[in-house]
Amino acid sequence: MASSSDYIPGYSFSVNFDGMSYSFSKVSNLGGAIDVDTIQEGGNNDSPVVLRKPKRSPDYLILERALHTTVSDVAFAFFKEGRRIASITITVKRDGKTVRMFFISNGVIVQREFSPLDSLESAVLLQSLKIAHSGMTELPLPFGI
């Protein structure tokens, strides 16, 4: 049975695009899906047969960050719709040790969005990137490195 110390609370993460590190406050849609088809087998009507179909739609990764007024933000402005990202690495750390890594290859930025501009509110300006990709590989490191 797992104890509460086996879970990953208080974690931090970093995101690398093609070897360059960028800071994000939130990563969403960290997962993948496949397409399936169900058919009824002629002699077996108890349950359907589930078959894997060729993948026809990409998976999407959504990254959010606050806009800065620093030099790193100038470099980040080059990430526009249609830009290809050869490799994305997301490293999850707990107590300074890497406990999980996610690898995504062949990404394409399909949407870039900014939070609403509202002069009556003193909110942080956020930017989100939606990246289409063909799949993700996960590397769990239970003891950390």
Question: pLDDT tens digits for 121-136?
Answer: 777 788 899 999 988 9
Task: Give the DSSP letter of residue 55.
Answer: P
Question: What residues contact 19, with CB distance under 8 A and at least 6 apart?
Answer: 87
Residue 145 lies in a domain: no
DSSP state of 53: P
pTM of the model: 0.78
Q: What is the total count of domains within the chain?
A: 1
pLDDT, tens digit, 9 for 90 and up, residues 30-52: 888 888 888 877 666 677 788 89
127 inside domain: yes
Q: How far apart are CA 63 and CA 21, in angstroms?
A: 13
CATH (domain of 48): 2.30.110.20
Residue 108: inside a domain, yes or no?
Answer: yes
> Is 26 a domain residue?
yes
pLDDT of 44:
63
Q: What's the CA gap between 76 and 71, in Å, rounded? A: 9
Q: Which domain holds residue 123?
A: 4-140
The three state secondary structure string of 70-134 is CHHHHHHCCCCCCCEEEEEEEEEEECCEEEEEEEEEEEEEEEEEECCCCCCCCCCCEEEEEEEEC
